[in-house]
Amino acid sequence: MTRSPTDAAAHALATTADDHRIARLAAAAIALSLVDAAIPLPLPGVKPGLANIVTLLVLYRYGLSTAAWVSGLRVVAGGLLLGHFLAPGFFLSLTGAAVSLAALAAAQHLPRRWFGPVTLSLIAAFAHIGGQLLLARAWLIPHDGVFLLAPVFFAAALFFGIINGLIVARLLGAGAEPGTERQHA
Amino acid sequence: MSPWLPLVRPGDWAVAGLAAAAVAASFPLVWQGGAAEKAVVRRDGEVVAELDLSRKRTFEVAGALGATVIAVEPGRARVAADPGPRQYCVRQGWLRRPGEIAICAPNRVSLQIAGRKNGFDSLAY
């Protein structure tokens, strides 16, 4: 039998189980980005960074490359949904995600016995805001005055970094190793 | 016992402590612009007077429209009166941090606080 040109299956993109998992996790991260954006906070730039919870969980369960995919998709789709795609806020978000992923790539090799999700979350949070500040200084507000707000941002990174890390630790349960595949319950 | 505590590993405490120390250190590092030492008064961009901020006094500058009166008190200075129509520089109130500036544009007079080291070119709100 020949397939008709209108056969949907003929045009369907071949997707793997990995793609589905990434899409599912990215959807969760995007939802948390929206929640993030909906929480009113006094200063622009201070955000709980709830989507980082997903990035960290993915890093622990599926490794860095999946985490990078989820994080990247979250930034792009989150930007589209929040209406700041390709606007300055989008590039800030992209830089924060990229820098924090780079920091996580290095930090994931810390000995598990001593350093848990709280450490990774803190490192990610500080890398996130650090990267954003540098981008803002280099591009959006080319003046050292931007750094006046840095202590406030760092304090927020400390606070939310610890909280998000605790949430990740709680969700992972005890004894999780990074990059090891775990079955869904 | 809190269910959260066992989730924190020894290194986490160290990293959190380190981060907290860095945050605490960043406040004075970034937020001290040096002590305010003098008030620089300019007319048409040229310095007319550098007023010492250690004692109380008033100072008058003749600008394009009339006299701008500058009041100095220990550690702070302000534009007390200005002939400008909108009074922005007067309403700015006391200036106390190095770099802060009140500009009376119509009268072409500005008042800026200066310290030993200026963290910024200018500060305006």
Number of neighbouring beta carbons within 10 Å of residue A111: 8
SS3 B65: coil
Angle formed at CA B87 by CA B106 and CA B37, multiple of 5 degrees: 90
pLDDT in tens, A59-87: 999 999 999 999 999 999 999 999 989 99
Measured in degrees and rounded to the nearest 5, phi and psi for residue A52 equal -65, -25
Structural domain span for residue B109: 36-115
- Whether residue B11 and residue A111 make contact (CB cut-off 8 A), yes or no, is yes
Question: Would B122 be classed as within a structural domain?
Answer: no
Q: What percent of chain A stands above pLDDT 90?
A: 65
Measured in degrees and rounded to the nearest 5, phi and psi for residue A4 equal -75, 150
Question: Would B124 be classed as within a structural domain?
Answer: no
User: Which residue among B3, B10, B23 places its CB closest to the CB of A158?
Assistant: B23
A-B contacts at Cβ under 8 angstroms: 73
Question: Would B19 be classed as within a structural domain?
Answer: yes
Q: How confident is the model at residue A145 (pLDDT cuts 50, 70, 90)?
A: confident
How many folded domains does chain A comprise? 1
User: Which residue among B16, B20, B30 places its CB closest to the CB of A151?
Assistant: B30
Closest CA of chain A from B14, distance in Å: 9
Same domain for B11 and B64?
no
**Mean pLDDT throughout B97-111?**
90
- Whether residue A158 and residue B30 make contact (CB cut-off 8 A), yes or no, is no
Nearest to B67 by CA among B52, B87, B82: B82
Q: Which residue has the tokens 């406040």?
A: B27
Same domain for B18 and B79?
no
CATH number of domain containing B68: 2.60.320.10
Residue B65 half-sphere exposure toward CB, CA atoms < 13 A? 15
Tokens representing B41?
Answer: 């008064």
Structural domain span for residue A55: 16-172
Same domain for B3 and B42?
no
- A185 pLDDT exceeds 60? no
Closest residue, chain B, to A172 (C-alpha)? B7
Which value does ipTM take for this structure?
A: 0.78
